[in-house]
Amino acid sequence: MSTRRTFVAGAGGVAVSHLASAQAVSANSKLRVAVIGVNGRGRDHIQGIMGQPDAEVTCLCDVDLNVANKRAAEFEKKYGKKPKIVQDLRKALDDKEIDAVTIATPNHWHSLAAIWACQAGKDVYVEKPGSHNIYEGRKMVEAAKKYNRIVQHGVQLRSSEAVQEAVGHLRKGTIGNVYMARGLVFRWRPSIGKKGVEPVPEGLDYNMWTGPAQMEPFSRRIVHYNWHWTWNYGNGDVGNQGIHETDLCMWGLGVDSFPSKITAMGGKFLFDDDKITPEVLTTLYHYPEQKKIIQFEVRPWCTNAEDGAMVGNIFYGSEGYLVVNGYDTYQIYLGQKKEKGPGRRAGGDHFANWIKAIRSRKTTDQNGPVESAHLASGLAHLGNISYRVGRVLTFDSAKEKFVGDKEADTHLTRNYRKGFEVPAKV
pLDDT given for residue 28 in this prediction: 59
Q: What is the pLDDT of residue 15?
A: 36
Digit-coded pLDDT (tens) for 298-333: 999 999 999 999 999 999 999 999 999 999 999 999
Question: In this model, does residue 11 exceed pLDDT 60?
Answer: no
120 pLDDT tier (thresholds 50, 70, 90): very high
Length of the chain: 426
Q: Quick one: average pLDDT of 59-69?
A: 98
Query: Does residue 130 have a pLDDT over 50?
Result: yes
Residue 25 has pLDDT above 70, yes or no: no
CATH 3.40.50.720 domain position(s) in the chain: 4-157+351-367
pLDDT of residue 109: 98
Instruction: Give the pLDDT band (50/70/90) at residue 22.
Output: very low
Question: What is the DSSP code (8-state) at residue 362?
Answer: -
Which pLDDT band holds residue 198 (cuts at 50, 70, 90)? very high
Q: Would you place residue 26 in the very low, low, confident or very high pLDDT band (cuts 50, 70, 90)?
A: low
Task: Output DSSP code: residue 64.
Answer: B
Phi, psi of 27 (to 5 degrees): -65, -20
CATH 3.30.360.10 intervals, the chain:
160-192+217-347+380-405
The reply to whether omega before 224 is within 30° of 0 (cis) is yes
In this prediction, what percent of the chain has a pLDDT beyond 70?
93
Q: Is the pLDDT of residue 6 over 80?
A: no
Three-state SS string over 326-359 comes to CCCEEEEEECCCCEEEEEEECCCCHHHHHHHHHH
Instruction: Measure the CA–CA gap between 199 and 224, rounded to whole angstroms.
Output: 14
Q: What percent of the chain stands above pLDDT 90?
A: 93
Q: How far apart are CA 366 and CA 151, in angstroms?
A: 9
Predicted pLDDT of residue 389:
98
Residue 224 makes CB contacts below 8 A (sequence gap 6+) with 39, 40, 64, 67
pLDDT value at 149 more than 70: yes
For the domain spanning 160-192+217-347+380-405, the CATH number is 3.30.360.10
CA angle (234, 384, 247) in 5-degree steps: 80
Provide φ and ψ at 303, rounded to 5°: -160, 165
On whether the CB atoms of residues 98 and 358 are closer than 8 A, the answer is no
SS3 category, 234:
coil
Residue pair 208/88 in contact (Cβ under 8 Å)? The answer is yes
Residues paired with residue 330 on neighbouring β-strands, in sequence order: 324, 344
Q: Tell me: pLDDT of 4 over 70.
A: no
pLDDT at 12 over 50: no
Phi, psi of 382 (to 5 degrees): -60, -45
pLDDT above 50 (res 253): yes
DSSP conformation class of 142: H
pLDDT computed for residue 21 by the predictor: 39
Q: Measured between alpha carbons, how far is residue 402 from residues 22, 70, 246, 262 in Å?
A: 40, 46, 20, 10
Strand 151-153 with 178-186, pairing: unpaired
pTM over 0.85: yes
Q: Which tens digits make up the pLDDT trace of 33-62?
A: 999 999 999 999 999 999 999 999 999 999
Residue 239 pLDDT > 50: yes
Distance separating alpha carbons of residues 188 and 193, to the nearest angstrom: 15
C-alpha to C-alpha distances, 129 to 38, 235, 381, nearest whole angstrom: 17, 9, 10
What are the CA-CA distances from residue 200 to residues 76, 89, 206, 214, 394 (Å)?
A: 28, 20, 7, 16, 42
Who's near 13: CB < 8 A, 6+ residues apart? none
Q: How far apart are CA 179 and CA 291, in angstroms?
A: 7
Give the mean pLDDT of the chain. 94
User: Per residue in 346-389, pLDDT tens?
Assistant: 999 999 999 999 999 999 999 999 999 999 999 999 999 999 99
Q: Taking the CA atoms of the chain, what radius of gyration do you get in angstroms?
A: 21
From the CB of residue 361, how many other CB atoms can be counted at a distance below 10 Å? Answer: 13
The better pLDDT of the pair 24, 235 is held by 235
Task: Determine the Cα–Cα distance for residues 385 and 303; give it in Å rounded to an integer.
Answer: 26
Question: Which pLDDT score is estimated for 27?
Answer: 59
Amino acid at 87: Q
Homologous superfamily of domain range 4-157+351-367: NAD(P)-binding Rossmann-like Domain (3.40.50.720)
Confidence tier at 9 by pLDDT (50, 70, 90): very low
Sheet containing 401-402: order of strands: 339-345, 329-334, 320-325, 311-317, 178-186, 292-299, 280-287, 261-267, 393-396, 401-402
Whether 16 has a pLDDT exceeding 60, the answer reads no
Kindly compute the dihedral angle of the four CA atoms of residues 258, 262, 268, 273, in this order, to the nearest 10 degrees.
30
The alpha carbon of 152 is separated from its chain's Cα centroid by a whole number of angstroms, namely 10
Beta bridge partners of 402: 395
Tell me the mean pLDDT in the region 27-37: 90
